[in-house]
């Protein structure tokens, strides 16, 4: 009886090993018999690297698409965003600092840096705008829409709102050759008209979750402190291509990286928006 029991246990063990080997082999079809035998006690599964990210439309945090239950808890990721540019004063310096940390970012640009309208370019600005947007895009960053004139959409008619968004999209798509997917309303002032426009255009509205206050603080150290003290997993950080940010950004990225943060871009629209 005891021998029979032992035989059963052995059979059961053999079955588990066989199943484990099959599983290992299915992950690595070219593995030889020898190597699969070496994997009888395989390493614990290394967490699969996430490659798809989206920003939710509630708290505007960046999430891994396949990891929604960990949102805001486990994964130390942050989205870097730059609004109102490209101003051209320090844009390339900002890009150089981002490169140093291999960090990609999302730029919500406005057409007032180009001219009065798409048909009335400012000769002193338009070429610079094109060159900078092209450079930002070519260096691996995303370009988003921040309205043409940095308007408060709540103060405009429906037609004016649509024109603000559409003309910006038109110019950006002409420059980058890609559709614009993300929109940030100036002052965070979204409207029903704008939200409907986003839905129809397959775009997503995005505000932010961490304000760097680089537009009102006077010292770079204060900007660093503001970001580092309010950072959280999934943070969507609002910054500008301003001189104070050139001073602050290197330290911000160094400190965040030391805290374990990685800098990710949204690669998808929020799944619920993409489905609708």
* Site residues, Zn ion (CB under 5 A): 83-84, 186
Smaller CB distance to Zn ion: residue 77 or 210? 210
CB of 211 to Zn ion, least distance (A): 11
What's the CA angle centered on 86, arms 150 and 153, to 5 degrees? 10
CB of 272 to Zn ion, least distance (A): 26
Is residue 186 within 8 Å of residue 148, measured between CB atoms? no
Smaller CB distance to Zn ion: residue 61 or 184? 184
Q: Which residue is nearest to Zn ion (CB)?
A: 83
Relative orientation angle of helices 192-201 and 158-176, to the nearest 10 degrees: 40
Smaller CB distance to Zn ion: residue 186 or 243? 186
DSSP character string of 172-209: HHHHHSS---EE--GGG---HHHHHHHHHHT-EE---S
From the candidates 83, 190, 214, 250, which is the catalytic residue? 83
From the candidates 63, 141, 146, 240, which is the catalytic residue? 240
How far is residue 80's CA from residue 95's CA, in Å, rounded to a whole number? 12
How far is residue 102's CA from residue 141's CA, in Å, rounded to a whole number? 11
CB of 83 to Zn ion, least distance (A): 4
Place of tokens 């490209």: 86
Smaller CB distance to Zn ion: residue 85 or 234? 85
Q: Is 83 a catalytic site residue?
A: yes
CB of 88 to Zn ion, least distance (A): 16
Annotated catalytic residues are: 83, 240
């Amino acid at each position: 009886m005891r021998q029979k029991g032992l035989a059963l246990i052995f059979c059961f063990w053999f079955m588990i090993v066989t199943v484990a080997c099959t599983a290992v082999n299915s992950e690595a079809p070219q593995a030889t018999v020898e190597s699969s035998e070496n994997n009888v006690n395989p390493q614990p599964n290394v967490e699969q690297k996430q490659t798809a990210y989206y920003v939710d439309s509630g708290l505007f945090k960046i999430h891994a698409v396949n990891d929604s239950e960990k949102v805001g808890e486990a994964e130390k990721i942050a989205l870097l965003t730059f609004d109102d540019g490209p101003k051209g004063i320090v844009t390339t310096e900002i890009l150089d600092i981002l490169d140093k940390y291999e960090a990609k970012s999302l730029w919500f640009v406005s057409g007032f840096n180009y001219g009065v309208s798409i048909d009335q370019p400012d000769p002193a600005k338009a070429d610079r705008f094109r060159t900078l947007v092209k450079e930002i895009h070519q260096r691996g960053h995303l370009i988003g829409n921040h309205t043409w004139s940095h308007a408060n959409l709540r103060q405009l008619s429906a037609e004016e709102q649509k024109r603000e968004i559409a003309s910006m999209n038109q110019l950006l798509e002409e420059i980058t050759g890609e559709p614009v997917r993300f929109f940030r309303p100036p002052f965070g002032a979204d409207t029903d008209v704008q939200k409907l426009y986003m839905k129809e255009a397959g775009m997503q509205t995005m505000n932010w979750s961490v304000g760097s206050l680089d537009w009102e603080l006077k010292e770079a150290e204060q900007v660093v402190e503001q970001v580092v003290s309010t950072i959280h997993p999934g943070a969507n950080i609002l910054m500008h291509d301003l001189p104070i940010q050139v001073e602050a950004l290197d330290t911000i990225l160094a400190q965040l990286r030391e805290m374990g943060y990685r800098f990710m871009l949204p690669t998808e629209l929020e799944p619920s928006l993409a489905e609708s």
